[in-house]
Amino acid sequence: MTEGITLTLRLAEACDADDLLAWRNDPVTRTNSRNTAEISRESHDAWLLRALADANRRIWIAERGVERLGTVSAVRNAGGPVELSITVAPAMRGRGVGAVMLHAALAETARIWPGDAITAMIRPSNGPSLRLFERCGFVATDRKDDLLIYRWRN
Ligand SMILES: CC(C)(COP(=O)(O)OP(=O)(O)OC[C@H]1O[C@@H](n2cnc3c(N)ncnc32)[C@H](O)[C@@H]1OP(=O)(O)O)[C@@H](O)C(=O)NCCC(=O)NCCS
């Protein structure tokens, strides 16, 4: 059920480092990530500074009032598609928040980089993510290593 969920996406800032690291190191997020290792504070802070300065990357924080619901990021690969990645805050999962976040991020991505293909890389074992992306108009088009490549059919 996504009816009735209203949220806003804003660009992440350096002060979001604590939330982003906590969501990234959450065990379920790690299991479903390409790199399943726990990320240290030091390397995460350095990565975030680089990421925030990267013109080909956007990191958004989803909020409802003062409540932080999760994050979506978009990376525009050189000569390739824009790849989206999403993490709902652990306490907010299973309520349809992800679909609202993904719809908002798709609209923003299409506005910033019109015409670019939009993809996501998903583990076949990640049922909620497969379902989420399918519901938002993605279809599986390929496989790379142990990940499925999903592409948005807008
Ligand atoms: C994946 C994730 C973003 C989904 O967001 P969410 O808001 O929790 O999504 P929901 O659980 O409300 O809904 C996802 C859909 O999957 C379905 N679902 C839930 N568990 C499922 C399972 N085990 N197998 C298949 N589908 C499942 C839900 O019913 C829902 O479908 P519906 O909308 O048709 O009812 C969130 O769980 C998350 O942040 N996970 C950790 C990080 C991650 O895996 N990110 C994605 C990397 S590609």
CATH number at residue 39: 3.40.630.30
Judge whether 125 lies within some domain. Answer: yes
Between the CA of 136 and the centroid of ligand 1 the distance, in Å, is 12
Mean pLDDT score of the chain: 95
Judge whether 23 lies within some domain. Answer: yes
* Residue with CA at minimum distance from ligand 1 atom 11: 94
Q: Which atom of ligand 1 is nearest to the CA of 128?
A: 16
SS3 of residue 24 by DSSP? helix
> Among the residues of 1-69, which ranges form H helices?
17-25, 27-32, 41-52
Domain containing 47: what range?
8-152
Q: What mean pLDDT is predicted for residues 5-10?
A: 94
Number of domains in the chain: 1
**Does 1 or 105 have the greater pLDDT score?**
105
DSSP E strand boundaries for 33-122? 57-64, 67-76, 82-88, 118-122
Judge whether 64 lies within some domain. Answer: yes
pLDDT above 70: residue 96:
yes
pLDDT of residue 3: 58
Could you give the CA distance from residue 6 to residue 128 in angstroms, rounded to a whole number? 20
Between the CA of 94 and the centroid of ligand 1 the distance, in Å, is 6
CA distances from 15 to 11, 20, 38, 63, 68 (A): 11, 10, 20, 15, 13
pLDDT above 60: residue 1:
no
* Residue with CA at minimum distance from ligand 1 atom 41: 29
* Residue with CA at minimum distance from ligand 1 atom 17: 128
pLDDT above 70: residue 123:
yes
pLDDT of residue 46: 97
What sign has the CA pseudo-torsion 127, 22, 6, 122? Answer: negative
Judge whether 3 lies within some domain. Answer: no
Percentage of residues of the chain with pLDDT beyond 70: 98
pLDDT in tens, 14-61: 999 999 999 999 999 999 999 999 999 999 999 999 999 999 999 999
pTM of the complete model: 0.95
Confidence category of residue 79, pLDDT binned at 50, 70, 90: confident
* Residue with CA at minimum distance from ligand 1 atom 37: 93
Judge whether 89 lies within some domain. Answer: yes
Q: Radius of gyration (Cα) for the chain, nearest Å?
A: 15
Q: What mean pLDDT is predicted for residues 58-73?
A: 97
Judge whether 1 lies within some domain. Answer: no
